Amino acid sequence: MGSYVVDLNDIRRAAARIAPHVHRTPIITSQTLDALAGRSLFFKCENLQRCGAFKARGAVNAVLSLSDDQAARGVAANSSGNHGQALAYAARIRGIAAHIVMPSDAPIVKRHAVEGYGGRVYLCEPTLEAREETLATVLAKKNATRISGYNHPAIIAGQGTVALELLDQVNNLDALLVPIGGGGLISGVALAARGLNPRLRIFAAEPNGADDAYRSKSENRYIPSLDPQTIADGLLTSLGDLTWPVLRDCVEAVIRVKDDEILRAMRLLWERMKLVVEPSGATSLAAALSQEFAQLTDLGRVGVVLSGGNVDIDNLPFSRPGAIDSE
């Protein structure tokens, strides 16, 4: 294994730093979903985290790690929602400004949450290019400190605290299954898990319509996502130069799933476990129930990260007629 941007000690320091400001989220199990998966699944419920997603961990760690001079200028990021509201929350803790660039098609519930935490929202066209251009303009005008939602050492260290908790809460796991977008979560989780138990197997879950991680892993070279199309809006981002090496070296495989499989998983979580989980968060369950993952018969106990729960309840995807067959 090579050298990476953070290590287990960084993640442990992050855990101590953020502890007063984030939840230690619960583990929940389901006999019904175990039977469907053919193995024991242990769900790490980051949908119950502050701000409704794991992003609070990294954002709080990053903002509290800033120097006084950096913090005084405020922070800025582009985000489809979860990182934006987490950064606004973290900025409020420190009493500084947060400038969040959001695509115009981001779920309204996420925009309102950013504003509710005191962040200022700048809307842009829903393309990666427009998001970067708008953020560059905001950074130039406000002289704020940019905090990437995934490609940042303090963000990765903060997200790794998910694994510290999970492995403390559940013994003798064989594998972890984690959604992947920009890769901040799985990088932190993989580095923490490998530091604690090098034999633990790490798998990523990714939508078919935003499969740059799968393609990069398959070809052993970084391939950006140019036109991602998926209901999992939190997983649209391409990998970063800090997260790609961790995926390359520490993640065994990327399991791709279709949007209808994500919707089915989302509905199962609501119906069987009474858990509100957004499409990006349900992607890991969709992968756990996939035919590809079923072939890994030697994995009896799997930790599954449900990464977020910020659903626009006025636009539930499976409430539309014909969107998904009833269970």
Q: Which of 80, 216, 225, 307 is catalytic?
A: 80
Measured CA to CA, the distance from residue 281 to residue 54 in angstroms comes to: 10
Marked catalytic residue, from 55, 79, 217, 284: 55
Tokens coding 186 = 């799985």
Three-class secondary structure assignment of the chain? CCCCCCCHHHHHHHHHHHHHHCCCCCEECCHHHHHHHCCEEEEEEHHHCHHHECHHHHHHHHHHCCCHHHHHCCEEEECCCHHHHHHHHHHHHHCCCEEEEEECCCCHHHHHHHHHCCCEEEEECCCHHHHHHHHHHHHHHHCCEECCCCCCHHHHHHHCHHHHHHHHHCCCCCEEEEECCCCHHHHHHHHHHHHHCCCCEEEEEEEHHHCHHHHHHHHCCCCCCCCCCCCCHHHCCCCCCCCHHHHHHHCCEEEEECHHHHHHHHHHHHHHHCCCCCHHHHHHHHHHCCHHHHCCCCCCEEEEEECECCCCHHHCHHHCCCCCCCC
* Residue 55 falls in the annotated catalytic set: yes
Is 30 among the residues known to form the active site?
no
Q: How many Cβ atoms are within 10 Å of 44's Cβ, its own excluded?
A: 29
Residue of 201, 206, 195 whose CA lies nearest to 228:
206
Point out the residues that are catalytic: 55, 80
